[in-house]
Amino acid sequence: MNITAEPYEFEFEPQSTALLLVDFQRDFVEPGGFGESLGNDVSMLRKAIPAAEKLLEAARESGIHVIHTREGHRTDLRDAPPTKLARGKLETGIGSEGPMGRILVRGEGGHDIIPELTPREGEPVIDKPGKNSFYATDLDLVLRNRGVESLIVCGVTTEVCVQSTVREANDRGYECLVVEDAVASYFEEFQRVALDMIKAQGAIFGWVTKSDSVLSAFESVGAVR
């Protein structure tokens, strides 16, 4: 099957495709979380939620694999490099107490995925200590065990965790389609440039499309099934 995309059509087989939702966590997306404490406007990220919701529901209905990721650390922070903890010289940083519990610590309220995109039973949740969803995780194993070859990617932020994941996926041989209205950045310019970088030079890292095109393809998959 094909999806209209840039720089050219994205080809995929439904049975070997997964919808990957990157880091839709309360600490990043909700008011009062870590993202807002850094001075960011979380409404910029929340723009991606409606399209991601529709894609998630359509993927479930059509039988497309669904995988979620969360960035966060062990309660003792032993998996957080000292350089990461020190960066930014923040008074309230990773591991500190915030409005939603300890910031970016597994098991705390802010680490959890937002209610709009809550994983269902059977949908893998990949807990990652870094920006790249493959780094120090079993994501590659989960994908290969399910026969996944193509990823349709949503998430936040476009220029950090989404792009880091797409670049690594590309090196590992996965084909990636990034859904531009289902990914978001705190900065408009970063959003534009990050997407341009992904689709540049004949899809050097992947393809870019709108959610409507993916939804149409998912509906066709559901009709076939």
pLDDT at 46 exceeding the cut of 70? yes
Q: Of the candidates 164, 211, 213, 218, which has an alpha carbon nearest to the alpha carbon of residue 48?
A: 211
11/155 Cα distance (integer angstroms): 21
Residue range 210-225: average pLDDT?
86
- Active-site residue flag, 79: no
- Active-site residue flag, 47: no
- The matching CATH number, chosen from 3.40.50.850, 3.40.630.10, 3.40.50.1100, 3.30.565.10, for 2-224 is 3.40.50.850
Give the tens place of pLDDT for each residue, 180-204.
999 999 999 999 999 999 999 999 9
Q: Sort strands 150-156 and 101-102 into parallel, antiparallel or unpaired.
A: unpaired
188/53 Cα distance (integer angstroms): 22
> One of 128, 131, 176, 181 is an active-site residue; which one?
128
Angstrom CA distances, 179 to 77, 106, 122, stand at 33, 27, 24
Q: Of the candidates 107, 105, 41, 54, which has an alpha carbon nearest to the alpha carbon of residue 218?
A: 54
Give the tens place of pLDDT for each residue, 51-80.
999 999 999 999 999 999 999 999 999 999
Tell me, what DSSP letter sits at residue 159?
A: I
Determine the pLDDT at residue 223. 55
Domain definitions of the chain by residue range: 2-224
Give the tens place of pLDDT for each residue, 146-163.
999 999 999 999 999 999
- Active-site residue flag, 199: no
Answer yes or no: are the C-beta atoms of 43 and 126 closer than 8 Å: no
> One of 112, 131, 161, 199 is an active-site residue; which one?
161
